[in-house]
Structure 1
Amino acid sequence: MSSVRRRMANLANSVCFKHSVALRPDRRSSPIGFRSFRRSYVVSSSDFANENREFVIVGGGNAAGYAARTFVEHGMADGRLAIVSKEAVAPYERPALTKGYLFPSDKKPARLPGFHTCVGSGGDRQTPDWYKEKGIEMFYEDPVTNVDIEKQTLTTNSGKLLKFGSLIIATGCIASRFPEKIGGNLPGVHYIRDVADADALVSSLEKARKVVVVGGGYIGMEVAAAAIGWKLDTTIIFPENHLLQRLFTASLARRYEEFYQENGVKFIKGASIKYLEAGADGRVNYVKLEDGTTIEADTVVIGIGAKPAVGPFESVGLDSNVGGIQVDGLFRTRIPGIFAVGDVAAFPLKMYNRIARVEHVDHARRSAQHCVKALVSAQTDTYDYLPSFYSRVFEYEGSPRKIWWQFFGDNVGETIEIGNFNPKIATFWIDSGKLKGVLLESGNPEEFQLLPKLARSQPIVDKAKLQNASSVEEALDIVQSSL
């Protein structure tokens, strides 16, 4: 390694870890021990096949792909970067798996290589050949099973021993599953986290008659919409009172529920599942509820959330409240030379002064880019993320209407809803007179571009004037004039 690169690496890892402690009031007394030594970035060619593994990324999702691109942009990838992934394919834009990937074959479904990272943000399509051309070493289908912090080594499932100088953990999340004892592993029961999962579900949908989707969140809403595209008998079951309860108001959820029902989706709310029952062929055949109700199903999709895939990295330092690996505003863990990005990272949400873990493609992209820039350059700005969420459903050909909403900010305070969902509707969250968050359905590009500006500025809003707005367009004009 050149002396310049060594100085840069040491600079990136010798700054004291402080941000997540300072931003979290309830953690002032937490006994966190920080390592003060500097790490060696020299790898012995006699012990390892590739002496240039200065940087290793563990994970094969969006964050890994965007991190790789950022290394390339800084001229620090060729012969220096390795990616270790449990997946069989190069990183891709994962949101497609519950959207376009599930469309019927006659409705132009998404398929690889069409949605490899970084096409989702307008970047190059990073196919396996792209990584080869950039000199990035790829290890497919070989998850990490152990990390030795002192020796700076990773052990993979196949027995490979990899030395690293700097390590970026980008392992994402794993789907929460039903226990095997209640039928969680029966044939015909599906979870979606990767392409293999989506392939298996598509295979089931091709033969299905009755689909039950468990969960009223993003996965549930998107999979149910896709199932209707296959003209299947579709039921959504969830324990809450309405769809997407962590974000939608009851009034807003009702609008979406009515649209889904008009398209043939049935709802069973406030329900808990007792077990999944197999038929004579061994496949799932029924869903049994706690109240004794039985729903016939030959395909069941479980979408009940996800857990951070900390795997063998627990010793790096976990957050006890939001889960995931604890990092600061530059995505440094408490171990010098080790970083975590994307879904698995518990990071300081600067604008709201709290620690958060965000499962969102935009955060996966931005956190990876921010981390790598801090690692290979003199960037010291802390990550300043604006929470955002979105969904797109019923986008296939022949759908009576496409649904597309975006949300930015924080859903706190009282709400004001404007519009009739035909097609537009907007919800504004107002707290102490300030606009904290805004959701818009079926906006145009200019309106969607306005949302993050509003959420980040948090202008003082005239509530009475906003409540009297006659349209979504007028409401947006009112809040925009408050900037």
Structure 2
Amino acid sequence: MASLSSSSSLWHGVSLRGPRSGSFAATRSSPLIGCRRNFRRSFFVASSALANENREFVIVGGGNAAGYAARTFVEHGMADGRLCIVAKEAYAPYERPALTKAYLFPLDKKPARLPGFHTCVGSGGERQTPEWYKERGIETIYNDAVTSIDIEKQTLTTNSGKLLKYGSLIVATGCTASRFPEKIGGNLPGVHYIRDVADADALISSLEKAKKVVVVGGGYIGMEVAAAAVGWKLDTTVVFPENHLLQRLFTPSLAQRYEELYKENGVKFMKGALIKNLEAGADGRVAAIELQDGSRIEADTVVIGIGAKPAVSPFESVGLNTTVGGIQVDGLFRTSVPGIFSIGDVAAFPLKIYDRVARVEHVDHARRSAQHCVNALLTAQTHTYDYLPYFYSRVFEYEGSSRKVWWQFYGDNVGETVEVGNFDPKIATFWIDSGKLKGVLLESGSAEEFQLLPKLARSQPLVDKAKLQNASSVEEALDIARSSLPVDATV
């Protein structure tokens, strides 16, 4: 799941988001946190009171960031007997994007299943199954969320009452799904949210029996779940309050191309719609959605994808960013508390390339922030994290699909836009601000063309807008942009 997600806007007349919880929330940068370099601290506690044997490094969280952090500890030879991971889920860290993509494919279309997408296969690494952690001496505590922290004593308490000790702590708790209030039916049977395997399993169970599916939200989750529902041959309607799909990234013209593709696959859209209530049927399950304008849509399965909130509890005392949400860190992912770090979706970090603080909900950032943080913790590395925003989506990829869709975006979607191509199958959109190419999106590109995108977004070359507008094809437009790059441009 990617995170330039659609705004939850005003559902039932109330904003369900806190500080901009969308994937790419940002604010102007303030100076890096003035905390000293976090060398590991000594700690002393009666061992009989502690539930974890490996106490030097503790990671809280079980998502992508935790998995890639663990791999980096292993690469430095610092995991065996020293590293403990504690997570609220019952599974070893896995590649979460699969949950709204291949995991939702019908059973006859080869759906993804664990252990197939444990980290770190998403970046071409070795699959980190539960056995992988055992073989490398990493202590794992699953299905037991951390509920409180004592910063002075350097201890954590879990839901089951375990007391855990840490020397250095990495908070990688990610996000939780934004939910509809219970009073309007947000917790009815048949209403689904997707953040983990258990959520996806429950949705699949509903899809197997479903006839009419309503997806609430026009962001990544909405687009990906709707595409999966097409694979199940279900009556599918997507409802969202914005004027077009993926409003935080797509231009109206670009969104129209994708909406037409979905409509060709039988998906219906209700745009600019606000939810008033989720109605229950005689059996207590969801039966319909009532909109603010009084209209009603029948549904036996409803999927809510209205964004996510950083899972900061119980780490508020570590220091939060009230503008973008999440835990405030510096360019080495250090919080204001010596010895405590935060990575992935939950971290509010300096986005160096654009001189602002951001919180990015994306697997690529989860991987890179984990690696940068652990390298900084274990070595003399002092250079600031320099992330280039990157988002993508892949839909309609199951067997028998008439067209597989895969787009990538790099950079910043600011300024004027130039759209090139007819979506048959390629289309490219360029964002140009003060003559500089700031962002670029490409659909159905070749491997070589996709490799060009980060070079363009990183270099921000001056481009001839008129030449781009007059390009007769995506290939020609990309050649024009490529010719604008400095000779030594690198990612």
What is the distance in 1 between the residues matched to 2:35 and 2:153? 17
Q: Deviations over 1:101-140 (max 9, x none)?
A: 0000000000000000000000010000000000000000
The 8 Å contact of residues 41 and 164 in structure 1, kept in 2 or not, is answered as no
Q: Name the residue aligned to 2:221.
A: 219
What is the distance in 1 between the residues matched to 2:78 and 2:288? 54
Letter in 1 for 2:404: K
Q: Name the residue aligned to 1:41.
A: 42
1:38 to partner: Cα distance = 7.4
Q: Please list, as runs of the form range in 1=range in 2, the aligned pairs for 1:234-273 lying within 5 A after superposition.
A: 234-273=236-275
Q: Please list, as runs of the form range in 1=range in 2, the aligned pairs for 1:319-330 lying within 5 A after superposition.
A: 319-330=321-332
SS in structure 2 at match of 1:381: coil
1:408 to partner: Cα distance = 0.1
CA 1:428 to 1:26, structure 2 compared with 1: closer, same or farther past 3 Å?
Answer: closer
Q: Deviations over 1:10-67 (max 9, x none)?
A: xxxxxxxxxxxxx976757x9x896899763344445435554100000000000000
Establish whether residue 416 from structure 1 lines up as the match of residue 418 from structure 2. yes
The 8 Å contact of residues 56 and 84 in structure 1, kept in 2 or not, is answered as yes
Q: Name the residue aligned to 1:451.
A: 453
The 8 Å contact of residues 30 and 356 in structure 2, kept in 1 or not, is answered as no
Q: Name the residue aligned to 2:374.
A: 372
SS in structure 1 at match of 2:314: helix
The 8 Å contact of residues 351 and 384 in structure 1, kept in 2 or not, is answered as yes
Q: Please list, as runs of the form range in 1=range in 2, the aligned pairs for 1:269-288 lying within 5 A after superposition.
A: 269-288=271-290
CA 1:51 to 1:180, structure 2 compared with 1: closer, same or farther past 3 Å?
Answer: closer
Q: Name the residue aligned to 1:174.
A: 176
Q: Name the residue aligned to 2:142.
A: 140
1:437 to partner: Cα distance = 0.2
TM, length-normalised to structure 1: 0.93
What is the distance in 1 between the residues matched to 2:431 and 2:294? 39
Letter in 2 for 1:244: L
Q: Deviations over 1:156-196 (max 9, x none)?
A: 01111111000000000000000000000000000000000
Letter in 2 for 1:449: Q
Q: Name the residue aligned to 1:467.
A: 469
Q: Deviations over 1:355-381 (max 9, x none)?
A: 000000000000000000000111111
The 8 Å contact of residues 287 and 294 in structure 1, kept in 2 or not, is answered as yes
1:444 to partner: Cα distance = 0.6
Structure with the bigger RCO (C-alpha within 8 Å, sep 6+) is 2
SS in structure 2 at match of 1:151: coil
SS in structure 2 at match of 1:109: coil
The 8 Å contact of residues 329 and 336 in structure 2, kept in 1 or not, is answered as yes
What is the distance in 1 between the residues matched to 2:36 and 2:442? 46
CA 1:357 to 1:25, structure 2 compared with 1: closer, same or farther past 3 Å?
Answer: closer
SS in structure 2 at match of 1:66: helix
1:311 to partner: Cα distance = 1.1
**What is the RMSD of the two structures over their aligned residues, measured on CA atoms?**
1.7
What is the distance in 2 between the residues matched to 1:276 and 1:232? 20
What is the distance in 2 between the residues matched to 1:66 and 1:458? 29
Establish whether residue 194 from structure 1 lines up as the match of residue 196 from structure 2. yes
What is the distance in 2 between the residues matched to 1:482 and 1:96? 36
What is the distance in 1 between the residues matched to 2:231 and 2:144? 36
The 8 Å contact of residues 286 and 302 in structure 2, kept in 1 or not, is answered as yes
What is the distance in 1 between the residues matched to 2:313 and 2:439? 34
TM, length-normalised to structure 2: 0.91
Q: Please list, as runs of the form range in 1=range in 2, the aligned pairs for 1:66-215 lying within 5 A after superposition.
A: 66-215=68-217
SS in structure 1 at match of 2:183: helix
What is the distance in 1 between the residues matched to 2:151 and 2:138? 23
The 8 Å contact of residues 35 and 335 in structure 1, kept in 2 or not, is answered as no
Number of residue pairs matched? Answer: 459
Runs of 4+ in structure 1 off by over 2 angstroms are 23-28, 32-52
The 8 Å contact of residues 43 and 51 in structure 1, kept in 2 or not, is answered as no
1:228 to partner: Cα distance = 0.4
CA 1:66 to 1:469, structure 2 compared with 1: closer, same or farther past 3 Å?
Answer: same
What is the distance in 2 between the residues matched to 1:47 and 1:158? 14
The 8 Å contact of residues 390 and 404 in structure 1, kept in 2 or not, is answered as yes
SS in structure 2 at match of 1:312: coil
Letter in 2 for 1:351: I
SS in structure 1 at match of 2:97: helix
The 8 Å contact of residues 64 and 170 in structure 1, kept in 2 or not, is answered as yes
Structure with the bigger percentage of helix: 1
Q: Name the residue aligned to 1:10.
A: none
Letter in 2 for 1:179: P
